[in-house]
Amino acid sequence: MIEFSDVRKAYPDGTVALQSLSLTAREGEITVLVGPSGCGKTTTLRMVNRMVDPSSGTIRLDGVDVSTQDPPTLRRGIGYVIQNAGLFPHRTVLDNVATVPVLLGRSRAEARSAAGELLERVGLDPRVGSRYPAQLSGGQQQRVGVARALAGDAPVLLMDEPFSAVDPVVRADLQDELLRLQSELGRTILFVTHDIDEAIRLGDMVAVLRVGGTLAQFAPPADLLAAPVDDFVAGFVGRDRGYRRLQFVGAGSLALSSFPTTGDGWLLVVDDDGRPTGWRQGDDHVALGTVHEEGESLRSALDAALSSPSGRGVAVDEDGKVIGGIEPEAVITLLHASAEPAR
């Protein structure tokens, strides 16, 4: 658990990076700090491992005031991932990952074998261990950066725009990978980004910061989308927040319709196992659009309906067999029903 109490950071030239921040990053959760540049989010993160010291206020890590601890010792107990990975060019990938365990006094051989396992854990072929960072792609380097931060078994992870420098497809992979890892490891993660989509995707809690270093809103992502506190947050979470909110609403009780089996309209083509393969109308064939799988959110349900030529989306069970059709109206009805108790 990381607790910020009335933390303020002002520089000698008078610039105030952070007004007065109080928030708590809960144990085992991903807390995202998001905001435009100049909002003090990186400064906030760097105060946890004393890369920056606050002008006033206290930061407690599991109840202990970090300012009472020796910086190198403190830092060895906190995982640290930065934007361009910051791998050491002169060391192999394996030795990069083994950095903190070696600093902590473990033997190099032991640290290396643990590092090999970590590479697999972050989705890399352990054979890359013998390469040098310059021989890896940006996405691979970033995975190594994450492995290196996990190597010390630190319960707390600081991630400063770790995925900002890679292309969108790789970024999405890395985000999925982080969520998968987090579901296995349950670390306390403080994550900084300027990308609200990333914040909403990854955060259990999201803190939106304003330029000048004030906290605008601290809430779970669904609440941020449903009820932004002011115009700044509303503007920052973006124009299609209504649509994006759908991803936080379960489609469990969605009313399904049945598909027509004959007629002049679009007919769903199904293979022998009951799995959908495409659409047919007379001699016209169209590929399947989005298919909504049981257990997914309303966002995929609505997208299934919108991407179907018949206007009726395909819902399947976990084996991929058709279980019914999705009318857009049913999605909207369920959305209204789910929003009501919250108001």
Partner 1 sequence: MLSSLIAWFGAPAQWSAAAGIPTRLLQHLGYTALSVLVGAVIAVPVGLYIGHTGRGRLLVVGLANGLRALPELGVLVLFVLLLGLGLTPVVLALMLLAIPPLLAGTYAGISGVDPAAVDAARGMGMTERQILFGVELPNALPLMVAGLRTATLQVVATATIAAFVSLGGLGRYIVDGQAQRDFTQMAGGAILVALLAIVLEVALQGVQRAVTPGTRARPASDPATPAVGKPDTVTAGG
Q: Per CB under 8 A, which of residues 12..71 are in contact with partner 1? A: 49, 51, 71
Nearer to partner 1, 148 or 312 (CB): 148
- Give me the least distance between CB of 313 and partner 1, in Å please: 42
Largest CA distance in the chain: 77
Nearer to partner 1, 134 or 169 (CB): 134
CA gap 93, 146 in Å, rounded? 12
Please name which of 90, 83, 112 lies closest in space to residue 99, comparing C-alpha atoms: 112
The residue within the footprint of partner 1, chosen from 75, 112, 201, 210 (CB under 8 A), is 75
CA gap 130, 128 in Å, rounded? 5
The residue within the footprint of partner 1, chosen from 32, 33, 82, 122 (CB under 8 A), is 82
Strand order of the sheet with strand 64-65? Answer: 16-25, 2-10, 56-61, 64-65
Nearer to partner 1, 96 or 290 (CB): 96
Nearer to partner 1, 9 or 76 (CB): 76
Stretch that binds partner 1, among 18-26, 33-41, 81-89, 112-120 (CB under 8 A): 81-89
Nearer to partner 1, 104 or 267 (CB): 104
CA gap 56, 103 in Å, rounded? 31
DSSP 214-235: EEEEEE-HHHHHH--SSHHHHH
- Indicate the angle between helix axes 138-150 and 108-121, nearest 10 degrees: 120
Stretch that binds partner 1, among 132-140, 166-174, 256-264, 289-297 (CB under 8 A): 132-140
The residue within the footprint of partner 1, chosen from 15, 22, 56, 73 (CB under 8 A), is 73
The residue within the footprint of partner 1, chosen from 10, 52, 60, 86 (CB under 8 A), is 86
The site string for partner 1 over 170-209 (x = CB under 8 A, - otherwise) reads ----------------------------------------
Q: Per CB under 8 A, which of residues 102..131 are in contact with partner 1? A: 103, 127, 130-131
Nearer to partner 1, 56 or 135 (CB): 135
- Give me the least distance between CB of 49 and partner 1, in Å please: 6
Residue 24 DSSP one-character state: E
Question: Which two tokens mark 23?
Answer: 């928030």
3-state class (DSSP) for residue 55? coil
Nearer to partner 1, 64 or 332 (CB): 64
Instruction: Pick left, alpha or beta for residue 28 (phi over 0 → left; psi -120 to 50 → alpha; otherwise beta).
Output: left
227 within 8 A of 297, measured Cβ to Cβ: no
CA gap 165, 139 in Å, rounded? 9
Tokens 């009820």 — which residue? 227
The residue within the footprint of partner 1, chosen from 133, 213, 221, 228 (CB under 8 A), is 133
CA angle 94/127/178 to nearest 5° reads 70
Binding site for partner 1 (CB under 8 A): 49, 51, 71-77, 80, 82-90, 92, 99-100, 103, 127, 130-135, 145, 148, 152, 158
